[in-house]
């Protein structure tokens, strides 16, 4: 069973909307109405020997990654991140200097985006380091971009080249710009472009057609389409808006939203269907 299927099974009877809760389980963030703004909350875990191995790099990097992954969820909804909480589980042999490095990486990213660490805690772990980051962002009332708002006729864009693994730059400014332009549907590429667009297609009940040659990428195309953790935004909007962006951030048109059986298709420049076996990263659980 995949993570998505398991969560669906476990949470079937829980309301997705209730009172001030505008969006519950199922999007990048929850959305809670508070006066004239909506508060975005997201929680993200980073587990040693699952998401990374110690030998891959310094603890600074994993701190930066934990922060970037959490902030990217806020970017995907078009919000401004404000506060964060970090819960660490540390094995007994963990060095204080390594925790300090992790915090340095984490706080470096938070500082860049003016996010204040507002709490959290530290507990022991039996074997492996784990970090769960909770983040609070804000967006104008009713303006959060959602997975479920892709409309037939819209074009599909990405906010940068895919496949640049290890360069985690949450696209906060792009998200805010998109909201200012009236963009309604976005997601961050965390599981892999095709997998994440699949989430969007299913949530919006639309077909998304990607033209492979138009996808900006580094390295092999297949990997760029299917590997996750890019933290680039993928979004849909009318072509006219995308083209009239003038001095706005650099964005790349890669496909279109059409009516049809919900899902993602990849075509070549002749319109021929391409097939990709591995549609991105998803934990098998349960």
Q: Binding to a copy of itself by residue 126, rule CB under 8 A?
A: yes
The CA distance from 175 to 178, in Å, is 5
Kindly state the smallest distance separating residue 81's Cβ from a copy of itself, in Å. Answer: 13
Contact call for residues 31 and 136 (beta carbons, < 8 A):
no
Residue environment code for 79-114, b if the CB has 16+ CB neighbours within 10 A, otherwise e: bbbbbbbbbbbbeeebeeebbebbbebbbebbeebe
- Please say which residue, 120 or 248, places its beta carbon nearer to a copy of itself: 120
Kindly state the smallest distance separating residue 115's Cβ from a copy of itself, in Å. Answer: 11
Torsion of CA 186, 190, 195, 198, to 10 degrees: -20
Q: Binding to a copy of itself by residue 120, rule CB under 8 A?
A: yes
Q: Segment contacting a copy of itself (CB under 8 A): 95-103, 146-154, 220-228, 252-260?
A: 95-103
Find the angle CA(219)-CA(241)-CA(162) to the nearest 5 degrees: 10
Q: Binding to a copy of itself by residue 236, rule CB under 8 A?
A: no
DSSP 178: H
Contact string 254-283 vs a copy of itself (x = CB under 8 A): -----------------------------x
Question: How many amino acids of this chain bind a copy of itself (CB under 8 A)?
Answer: 66
Q: Binding to a copy of itself by residue 54, rule CB under 8 A?
A: no
Helix 172-180 to helix 59-77 angle, to the nearest 10 degrees?
A: 0
Q: Segment contacting a copy of itself (CB under 8 A): 93-101, 171-179, 217-225, 267-275?
A: 93-101
- Please say which residue, 100 or 239, places its beta carbon nearer to a copy of itself: 100
Q: Three-state SS for 110?
A: helix
Q: Tokens 């390594």 sit at which residue? A: 98
Q: Tokens 């549609």 sit at which residue? A: 279
List contacts with a copy of itself (CB under 8 A).
1, 3, 6-7, 9-11, 14-15, 18, 20-21, 24-27, 29-30, 32, 34-35, 39, 41-45, 47-51, 82-83, 85, 87, 89-90, 94-96, 99-100, 103, 107, 116-128, 130, 132, 134, 136, 283-286
């Amino acid at each position: 069973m995949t993570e998505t299927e398991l969560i669906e099974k476990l949470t079937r009877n829980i309301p997705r909307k209730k009172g001030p809760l505008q969006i519950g389980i199922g999007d990048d963030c929850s959305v809670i109405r508070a006066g004239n703004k909506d508060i975005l909350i997201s929680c993200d875990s980073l587990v040693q020997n699952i998401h990374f191995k110690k030998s891959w790099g310094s603890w600074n990097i994993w701190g930066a990654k934990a922060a970037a992954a959490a902030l990217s969820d806020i970017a995907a909804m078009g919000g401004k991140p404000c506060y964060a909480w970090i819960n660490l589980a540390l094995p007994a042999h963990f060095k204080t200097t390594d925790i300090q490095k992790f915090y340095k990486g984490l706080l470096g990213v938070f500082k860049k985006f003016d996010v204040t660490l507002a709490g959290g805690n530290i507990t022991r772990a039996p074997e492996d380091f784990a970090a769960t980051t909770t983040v609070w962002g804000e967006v104008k009332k009713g303006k959060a971009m959602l997975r479920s708002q892709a409309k037939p006729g819209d074009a599909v864009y990405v906010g940068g080249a895919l496949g640049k693994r290890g360069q985690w730059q949450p696209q906060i400014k792009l998200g805010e710009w998109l909201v200012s332009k009236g963009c309604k549907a976005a997601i961050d590429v965390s599981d892999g472009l095709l997998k994440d667009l699949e989430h969007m297609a299913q949530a919006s009940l639309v077909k998304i057609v990607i033209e492979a040659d138009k996808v900006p990428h580094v390295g092999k195309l297949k990997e760029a389409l299917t590997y996750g953790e890019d933290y680039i935004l993928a979004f849909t909007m009318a072509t006219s808006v995308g083209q009239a962006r003038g001095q706005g951030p650099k964005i790349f048109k890669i496909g279109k939203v059409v009516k049809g059986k919900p899902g993602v298709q990849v075509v070549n420049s002749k319109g021929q269907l391409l097939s990709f076996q591995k549609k991105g990263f998803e934990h098998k659980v349960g």
